[in-house]
Amino acid sequence: MPKSKPWELSRRSLLRGATGAALALPWLEAMAPSLARAQASGAKPPLRFVGMFHSAGVVPDQWFPKTEGASYALTPTLSPLAPVKEDVLVLSGLRLGAWDYYERTHEGGFRMMLTASERIVAGDTDSIDQVIARATSAQVRVPALTLGVENHGDSNPGCRDANGDGFIDPKPSSYDDTQDHCMATFSRGQRLPNVYDPRVIFDRLFGSLQAEGPTDAERRLWRYRRSVLDRMTGQAKALQAKLGQADTLRLDEYLTGIREIEVAIQKAEQGAPAAACTPWARPVGIPMDGTAYANLMCDLIVKSFECDATRVATLMLGMCVSPMMFTVNGRAFSHHGDASHHGNDPVKLAAKVEIDRWQVGRFAHLVQRLKAVPEGEGTLLDNVAVFYSSDISHSDWHNHYDMPVLLAGRAGGALRPGRHMRAQGKRCGDVLLSILQAFEIPRGTFGPLAQGPLAGLA
């Protein structure tokens, strides 16, 4: 009697709900035969890219390590990297533009950060995330995520999102995130708005439910009590019955992780709005705790990569001229106005270092979450490149040389992390070209400031 063919699962399999919601699956051992055939034919695991923005520069002597190589000591600002030091490449000596200028602008540096271009040309200029998104869009459900955790509330009081589309309601009824003058992503010369609402991001990635009930209040309450997973329970159980023990646990962990994100979003949405929405207050539906908010956005990025819903994401941890408020040692500081322009005042300097440490901590959170996801014989982090930088270097000088740059992940072997590397006189755009090279995407017109891929990253 011929031996029966082992049951296997396609990498592109989905769980589908009755209302049209669809959920991609994580990597499972049952996918190994098809994955092995793909690898035997020369195919590689998909690469992903994250561009992460650190707001308002740094205090250089608290950021840059003193020595090169793997044995460098973490500085005060980089101390959150301790759990992921082996997974991060610290770069120094890089400049943004063609010249080493003193007193450049936040906005100019912000435009250059992901475009490697001093001029944004209508119909032409792309940021690297959009170049990669265009090359990978046919393989995913969502071409790219453009996320932010600070919107420009001082010019738009109201802070409501009545239509629930993730883009804050237009003036004058509320606040319009398309008026944010500091957005990192460009597609053919056009700024792309950030999305600030985790619920909307979740629905785009994993599908949404049709809210039931005749009134807005009833529909909202119904949504709190339901999960996108509820409509997929039967299909998930049927699939688990076919899987081995390891895959069953893996799928359960994956679905549990998605449910935990839903719960976090739902808890945030249940919070009542402030009676009078003060400048920089966050819209309803976004966690008021800044760390929880930023971590939730990172978790959504990881889940989107895990289920291959997208391969590209950007996350702004603040605006380039950021009025975001931080409390340090019991005192409130506006990031840009108080802390970044410290004028060597020791109290303001200490506040800036603490704010920068918070931002690096969110980067470390993302790296840890990526590393925790198994993929094939390694982890998701092995196939990701995370580029983390800022709009200026010295927060009080506004210079565009010796930029603070971190790289995380291995990008399929194109990056060798776990060290500090000096790249004196080279440009940030050269790093971006190296990432494009890892994706095997031709440069085209991208990055006129970039001189060529940066040697020594692998």
- Kindly report the CA angle at 97 between 91 and 100, in degrees rounded to 5? 85
Any domain includes 172: yes
For residue 88, what are the domain limits?
29-198+282-438
5 pLDDT above the threshold of 70: no
Question: pLDDT per residue over 99-140, tens digit each?
Answer: 665 557 777 777 889 999 988 898 899 999 999 999 998 888
Question: pLDDT per residue over 326-349, tens digit each?
Answer: 888 888 887 877 877 877 888 888
The pLDDT mean for the chain works out to 79
* DSSP helix/strand/coil, 457: coil
Any domain includes 448: no
Mean pLDDT, rounded, for 381-386 = 98
Any domain includes 231: no
As for how many domains the chain has, the answer is 1
Q: What pLDDT does residue 328 have?
A: 86
82 pLDDT above the threshold of 60: yes
Q: What percent of the chain has pLDDT over 70?
A: 72
The reply to whether omega before 45 is within 30° of 0 (cis) is no
Any domain includes 266: no
- Which CA distances in Å does 157 have to 38, 275, 319? 53, 12, 17
Q: What pLDDT does residue 71 have?
A: 96
Question: pLDDT per residue over 216-263, tens digit each?
Answer: 654 554 454 456 666 677 777 778 777 877 778 777 777 777 777 777
Any domain includes 12: no
Q: What pLDDT does residue 204 have?
A: 79
Mean pLDDT, rounded, for 189-195 = 83
Any domain includes 369: yes
Q: Is 376 exposed, middle or buried (0-12, 13-18, 19+ CB in 10 A)?
A: middle
CA gap 450, 433 in Å, rounded: 7
Any domain includes 371: yes
Global pTM?
A: 0.79
CA gap 289, 276 in Å, rounded: 18
- Kindly report the CA angle at 312 between 309 and 315, in degrees rounded to 5? 115
Any domain includes 211: no
Domain holding 118: CATH number?
3.40.720
